[in-house]
């Protein structure tokens, strides 16, 4: 059964992520890192179970790339298929 108040985790829109790294340094638990996905440097959440849902990473992103969502959601938003 789903909890009444599911903990939220960051959902990273990698199609818009610039790879600047601000969110990585904002996480006190070091759960985010920069990786190359689909040929682009992007932020990746490594341990959704440990994430406290504190929103620091979302607040720190200067480009509004991170939204908070339920942990069952897709962890990243993929870029459109290459043309
Ligand atoms: S919500 Fe908080 S604990 Fe989770 S990845 Fe972002 S900064 Fe880290
Ligand atoms: S702060 Fe935003 S744009 Fe920068 S790496 Fe993190 S998600 Fe990407």
The pLDDT, as a whole number, for residue 42 is 96
Structure letter (DSSP) for residue 6:
P
CB 34, CB 44: distance < 8 Å: yes
Distance, CA of 65 to CA of 77 (rounded, Å): 10
Query: With a 6 A CB cut-off, is 29 part of the ligand 1 pocket?
Result: yes
The pLDDT, as a whole number, for residue 82 is 44
| pLDDT band for position 7 (cuts 50, 70, 90) | confident
CB 32, CB 44: distance < 8 Å: yes
Cβ count near 60 (within 10 Å): 16
| pLDDT tens readout for residues 41-68 | 999 999 999 999 999 999 999 999 999 9
**Domains detected in the chain:** 8-77 (3.30.70.20)
| pLDDT tens readout for residues 32-44 | 999 998 888 999 9
CB 17, CB 42: distance < 8 Å: yes
The pLDDT, as a whole number, for residue 37 is 81
Query: With a 6 A CB cut-off, is 52 part of the ligand 1 pocket?
Result: yes
């Amino acid at each position: 059964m789903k909890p009444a108040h599911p903990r939220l985790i960051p959902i990273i829109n990698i199609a818009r992520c610039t790879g600047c790294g601000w969110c990585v340094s904002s996480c006190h638990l070091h759960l985010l890192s920069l990786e190359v996905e689909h040929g682009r440097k992007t932020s990746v959440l490594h341990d959704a179970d440990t994430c406290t849902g504190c929103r620091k990473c979302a607040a720190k992103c200067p480009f509004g790339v991170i939204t908070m969502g339920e942990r069952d959601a897709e962890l990243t938003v993929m870029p459109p298929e290459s043309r």
